[in-house]
Structure 1
Amino acid sequence: MTVREDRFERPDGSRGLYGVVDKPDFALVIPAEDGGFHLVEEYRYPIGRRTWSFPQGSFPAGRTGTPEDLARAELAEETGLRAASLTRIGYLHGAHGVTGQGFHVFLAMGLEHGEPDREDTERDMRQAFVPRREFERMIRAAEITDAGTLAAYTLLHLHEHGTAGRRDEP
Structure 2
Amino acid sequence: MTGDGDERSIRRLESRIVYRNRWMTVREDRILRPDGGEGIYGVVDKPDFALVIPVENDGFHMVEEYRYPIGRRTWNFPQGSFPDGADGVPEELARRELAEETGLRAGRLEHLGYLHCSHGTSGQGFNVFLATDLTPGPHSREPEEQDMRQRWISRKEFWALVDQGLITDDSTLAAYSLLLRHEGRVP
TM-score, normalization: structure 2? 0.84
In the alignment, structure 1 residue 60 sits paired with structure 2 residue 50: no
In the alignment, structure 1 residue 23 sits paired with structure 2 residue 23: no
Residue 11 of structure 1 and its aligned partner are, at CA, apart by 3.0
In the alignment, structure 1 residue 43 sits paired with structure 2 residue 43: no
d(CA) in 1 for partners of 2:35 and 2:63? 45
Candidates 156, 160, 172, aligned match of 1:133: 156
d(CA) in 1 for partners of 2:73 and 2:67? 6
Counterpart of 2:137 in structure 1 is: 114
Q: 1:88 corresponds to which letter in structure 2?
A: H
Counterpart of 1:4 in structure 2 is: 27
Candidates 147, 155, 161, aligned match of 1:124: 147
d(CA) in 2 for partners of 1:12 and 1:127? 51
- SS of the residue aligned with 2:83? coil
Q: 2:27 corresponds to which letter in structure 1?
A: R
Question: Structure 1 unaligned runs (5+)?
Answer: 165-170
Counterpart of 1:95 in structure 2 is: 118
Counterpart of 2:109 in structure 1 is: 86
Work out which structure has the larger RCO, using CA pairs closer than 8 Å and 6 or more positions apart in sequence.
1
Residue 99 of structure 1 and its aligned partner are, at CA, apart by 0.4
Residue 13 of structure 1 and its aligned partner are, at CA, apart by 2.9
Q: 2:92 corresponds to which letter in structure 1?
A: D
Question: Structure 2 unaligned runs (5+)?
Answer: 1-23
Q: 1:79 corresponds to which letter in structure 2?
A: T
After alignment, is 133-142 or 92-101 more displaced? 133-142
Superimposed CA distance per residue, residues 118-154 of structure 1 (whole angstroms, 9 cap, x where no aligned partner): 1111111000100111111111221100010010001
Residue 62 of structure 1 and its aligned partner are, at CA, apart by 5.7
Residue 47 of structure 1 and its aligned partner are, at CA, apart by 0.3
The size of the alignment, in residue pairs, is 164
Counterpart of 1:73 in structure 2 is: 96
